[in-house]
Amino acid sequence: MAGEILDNKGRGEAGQDWPAIHPEGRRFGLIAAAASLFFLLVLDWELLGWPLLLLSACLFVCFRDPERVVPQSDGVIIAPADGMVSLITEVEPPTELQIDDGSGVPGLPAGPVTRVSIKMSIFDVYINRTPVGGTVRRVVYIPGRFASADLDGASDENERQHILIERSDGLRVGFTQIAGQLARWIEPFIKPGDILAKGQRVGLIRFGSRVDVYLPAGTDAKVMIGQSVIAGETVLAEIGQRGLIEGISQ
């Protein structure tokens, strides 16, 4: 059940249910379904009716919103998006997350940090979640291009939305939702001042794209390029922990 406490000592109760569908998916899916029925039943145009019916089913699946079991350890940063780790690089955090925005709350400190980029496909869950719990300090939307999200420059050129979370201990973690060639709608569920639990839903990127997470200084990723991650569940890093992780593709 949603909200039930589970742990790795066998306590709790596992279950499997059909995931909920986000209202955006219900809207698009019902429109496609209505159009397909019109072509099939009224006009008898099977050439259009059956593909639209298939599209409707795909939309319901793509906008699914499953529950997740969120690790509650204070020291972990979790994946904000479903997808594949496409880049792990040392970069300066975005200017929008560093500069004084007049709110009186400092942004991220200057200096290179590890950025973990998660590439979302059109088949991944579109809902994004906060990698840490805390207070939302910034939500900065920037219009831009719609180049491939695989490109490193997409973080500076594409339509994007920066989010800054401050934990109760003062540690600040920033992450960015980035639109791509198909994903041209970033929808936030939050605003500055909101208090979030770790793994809480913060928004969605329609039809997938990319989410970048800026790890705090002195923290290395515990995932590898090519690894699949699950929003709200996969541990990206442990705060203050460093060390190289290697893997073998097989």
Domains of the chain, by residue range, sit at 1-70, 76-238
210-214 and 113-119 as β-strands: parallel, antiparallel, unpaired? Answer: antiparallel
Residue 1 has pLDDT above 50, yes or no: no
Digit-coded pLDDT (tens) for 85-136: 999 999 999 999 998 888 888 899 999 999 999 999 888 998 999 999 999 9
Residue 117 and residue 107: Cα distance in Å, rounded? 20
Residue 154 has pLDDT above 70, yes or no: no
pLDDT of 173 reads 97
187 against 134, higher pLDDT? 134
Where do the H-state alpha helices sit in 63-108? 95-98
Residue 99 and residue 105: Cα distance in Å, rounded? 10
23 against 14, higher pLDDT? 23
Question: Residue 241 carries which side chain, given as an amino acid letter?
Answer: Q
- Extract the tokens encoding 82: 């479903």
pLDDT of 155 reads 64
The answer to whether 228 and 84 are in contact (CB under 8 A) is: yes
The CATH homologous superfamily to which domain 76-238 belongs is Glucose Permease (Domain IIA) (2.70.70.10)
- Give the number of other CB atoms < 10 A from CB of residue 249: 7
Q: How large is the average pLDDT for residues 201-209?
A: 87
Strands ordered across the beta sheet of 127-129: 127-129, 201-205, 186-188
Q: Please classify residue 235 by burial: count the beta carbons closer than 10 Å to its beta carbon, then call 0-12 exposed, 13-18 middle and 19+ buried.
A: middle
3-class secondary-structure state, position 188: strand
Residue with tokens 């994004």: 128
Bridge partners of residue 164, in order along the sequence:
138, 174
Element (H, E) at 163: strand 160-166
The answer to whether 124 and 63 are in contact (CB under 8 A) is: no
Tell me if residue 86 is catalytic.
Answer: no
Residue 192 has pLDDT above 60, yes or no: yes
Where do the H-state alpha helices sit in 63-211? 95-98, 154-157
228 confidence band (pLDDT: 50, 70, 90): very high
Q: Active-site residue among 36, 56, 86, 209?
A: 209
85, 130, 126: which is closest to 209 by C-alpha? 126
Of how many residues is the chain composed? 250
113, 111, 115, 107: which is closest to 137 by C-alpha? 107
Residue 49 has pLDDT above 70, yes or no: yes
